[in-house]
Amino acid sequence: MDRSGKRGPWTGAVLALIADRPGIVSAVLAEAMGLERQDFKLHVRRLKELGLTLSLDAGYRLSPRSQSYLNYLRTRGGMSALTGSWPGAGSDKET
């Protein structure tokens, strides 16, 4: 999926942002990544199709599968996959 993205790797960054901000609406998450809301939602839909994200009444959360993957990346030094091309992606934990 990352290879088809115009802005480079994005999956780790989106997963990390959702993990750090569960239940936060897409407009806020999109702004944190410097994306238009519809572009961000397209990324989340792709992840949801793979069973990696779950929609809440407001916002999203990670599925157990993606939480395990994210934990693996964070503990195995795969942090570069989490930063993506966006400044601050996954680093601002303010809710």
Indicate the pTM of the whole model: 0.73
Bridge partners of residue 55, in order along the sequence:
60
| Domain range annotation of the chain | 2-76
> For domain 2-76, which CATH number applies: 3.30.420.10, 3.40.50.620, 3.30.43.10, 1.10.10.10?
1.10.10.10
- d(CA 74, CA 62) in angstroms, rounded, equals 15
What's the pLDDT at 36? 95
What's the pLDDT at 39? 94
What's the pLDDT at 74? 81
- d(CA 16, CA 37) in angstroms, rounded, equals 17
pLDDT by 10s per residue, the chain, length 95: 444 445 446 888 899 999 999 999 999 999 999 999 999 999 999 999 999 999 999 999 999 999 998 888 888 865 555 554 444 444 444 43
What's the pLDDT at 72? 85
Reduced to 3 states (helix: H, G, I; strand: E, B; else coil), residue 61 is strand
